[in-house]
């Protein structure tokens, strides 16, 4: 995830007891103290206090979520791809909004200009502004305000879909075989609770291993070239050890830099079998798992292999001080241009798949849009080759369209 958007959005709770001011607490304490003092010298005046209110007997259940996102009614036929020369509908104007770092906004500005030639019957008025936010979008969607095509944070897709804020795209995706073949992950990356399709993922950042190809070649280490056949964790550790250069107790080059928050949760063997077969004993505290977790802990203490980096600090890798670096794919823009770097999937435990995380850039059509057909045409254009190449050139996103990769 990009550093500019790394911070999670936390909404303060207005009902929290912590919201009481010190002045209010002090006043309450003074009143209580004076009441106790008066009770020692004076008889109580007035009626008895009412009895304490008992807690509710039944737990109040929230209302069920709305049904699936409504599909657009009576859609006009659209082409399988937006990159066609003949108009598909009367000329219309739509509004598009997104946020992100400057290099990404510049790419979207380029895409909006290219769309004028590819889909001349759709005029796109783009608001590319890093002052936009997910919280502000939520408020406007609730009030039926905002753009015709908008970026949606991947964490918001689930509840925005359930709340009916977004147009359903299932029928349009089903009628677009070229999309399903060229970018099958685009409609499936983020869905609603019932599998409803309401967004298209046009790109993503993934956790990965960045490696210095020249360093690996010099010691005879071959990086995996497929996400389906990654290093095992043991192979990865052995490769990192072979890449270390030390002289007289001094390390000249480390095999690995890794951020614990990125590496350990993913490499700490994912498992759904929390309990043993008798459902009585936890399976988490086993000698095998303790050994694996200890090995991951050693990465941060055994300097013969790893140079610790607490944050997204790529200078050791960029300067040749480390041969491999675990981070997200968007870190490439900070690697020195002269470094011959490549990308490999995260290692995996024996017999298990490589576990990685992706943060998608999703676009959606708000349910209140009066031009869903034109909005779909532009959203679909974001997955055509010219737009995907523009996003790839930012070195921030892995494009969703397969041949662009």
Q: For the chain, what's the residue count?
A: 405
The answer to pTM > 0.85 is no
Mean pLDDT calculated for residue range 326-338? 89
Over the stretch 101-160, which tens digit does the pLDDT of each residue have?
Answer: 999 999 999 999 999 999 999 999 999 999 998 899 999 999 988 899 999 999 999 999
Cα–Cα separations (whole angstroms), residue 348 to 138, 220, 264? 38, 21, 12
Q: Which residue has the higher pLDDT, 90 or 128?
A: 128
pLDDT exceeds cutoff 70 at 65:
no
Q: What is the pLDDT of residue 402?
A: 81
Contact criterion met (CB below 8 Å) for 122 and 94: yes
Closest CA to 228 of 127, 348, 336: 348
Q: What is the pLDDT of residue 89?
A: 58
Mean of all residue pLDDT scores within the chain: 79
Query: DSSP assignment, residue 127?
Result: E
Q: Which residue has the higher pLDDT, 262 or 113?
A: 113
Q: Which residue has the higher pLDDT, 71 or 107?
A: 107
Q: Which helix (H) or strand (E) holds 257?
A: strand 257-258
Measured CA to CA, the distance from residue 71 to residue 382 in angstroms comes to 21
Over the stretch 163-216, which tens digit does the pLDDT of each residue have?
Answer: 999 999 999 999 999 999 999 999 999 998 888 999 999 999 989 999 999 999
Over the stretch 357-383, which tens digit does the pLDDT of each residue have?
Answer: 889 999 999 999 999 999 999 999 999
The two structure tokens encoding residue 242:
């072979």
Partner residues linked to 126 by β-bridges = 96
Measured CA to CA, the distance from residue 210 to residue 329 in angstroms comes to 8
Q: What is the pLDDT of residue 62?
A: 46
Domains of the chain: 92-204+359-404 (3.40.190.10), 228-269+287-355 (3.40.190.10)
Q: What is the DSSP string of 199-223?
A: EEEEEEEEEEEEEEHHHHHHHT---
pLDDT exceeds cutoff 80 at 403:
yes
Q: What is the pLDDT of residue 86?
A: 45
Over the stretch 212-260, which tens digit does the pLDDT of each residue have?
Answer: 999 999 999 999 988 788 999 889 999 999 999 988 778 899 999 988 8
Q: What is the pLDDT of residue 247?
A: 82
From its phi and psi, is residue 286 left (phi > 0), alpha (psi between -120 and 50) or beta? Answer: beta
Q: What is the pLDDT of residue 396?
A: 87
Q: What is the pLDDT of residue 41?
A: 40
pLDDT exceeds cutoff 80 at 397:
yes
Measured CA to CA, the distance from residue 99 to residue 110 in angstroms comes to 15
């Amino acid at each position: 995830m990009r550093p500019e958007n790394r911070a999670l959005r936390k909404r303060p709770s207005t009902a929290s007891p912590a919201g009481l001011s010190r002045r209010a607490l002090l006043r309450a304490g003074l009143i209580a103290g004076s009441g106790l003092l008066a009770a020692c010298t004076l008889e109580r005046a007035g009626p008895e206090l009412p009895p304490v209110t008992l807690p509710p007997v039944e737990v109040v259940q929230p209302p069920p979520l709305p049904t699936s996102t409504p599909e657009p009614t009576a859609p006009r036929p659209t082409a399988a791809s937006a990159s066609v020369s003949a108009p598909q509908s009367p000329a219309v104007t739509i509004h598009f909004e997104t946020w992100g770092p400057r290099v990404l906004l510049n790419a979207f500005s380029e895409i909006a200009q290219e769309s004028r030639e590819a889909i001349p019957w759709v005029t796109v008025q783009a608001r590319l502004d890093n002052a936009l936010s997910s919280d502000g979008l939520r408020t406007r969607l609730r009030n039926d305000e905002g753009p015709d095509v908008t970026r949606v944070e991947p964490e918001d897709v689930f509840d925005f879909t359930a709340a009916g804020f977004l147009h359903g795209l299932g029928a349009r995706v089903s009628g677009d075989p070229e999309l399903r073949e060229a970018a099958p992950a685009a409609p499936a990356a983020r869905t609603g609770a019932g599998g409803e399709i309401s967004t298209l993922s046009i790109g993503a950042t993934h956790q990965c291993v960045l490696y210095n190809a020249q360093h690996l070649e010099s010691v005879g280490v071959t990086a995996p070239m497929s996400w389906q056949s990654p290093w095992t964790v043991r192979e990865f550790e052995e490769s990192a050890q072979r890449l270390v250069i030390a002289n007289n107790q001094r390390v000249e080059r480390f095999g690995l830099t890794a951020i614990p928050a990125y590496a350990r949760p993913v490499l700490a063997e994912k498992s759904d079998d929390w309990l043993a077969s008798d459902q009585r004993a936890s399976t988490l505290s086993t000698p095998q798992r303790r050994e694996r977790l200890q090995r991951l802990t050693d990465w941060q203490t055994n300097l013969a292999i790893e140079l610790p980096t607490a944050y997204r600090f790529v200078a050791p890798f960029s300067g040749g001080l480390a041969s491999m670096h675990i981070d997200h794919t968007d870190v490439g823009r900070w690697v020195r241009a002269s470094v011959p770097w490549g990308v490999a999937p995260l290692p995996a435990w024996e017999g298990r798949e490589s576990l990685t995380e992706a943060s998608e850039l999703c676009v959606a059509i708000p349910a209140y849009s009066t031009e869903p057909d034109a909005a779909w045409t532009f959203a679909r254009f974001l997955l055509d080759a010219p737009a995907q190449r523009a996003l790839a050139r930012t070195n921030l996103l892995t494009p969703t369209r397969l041949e662009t990769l």
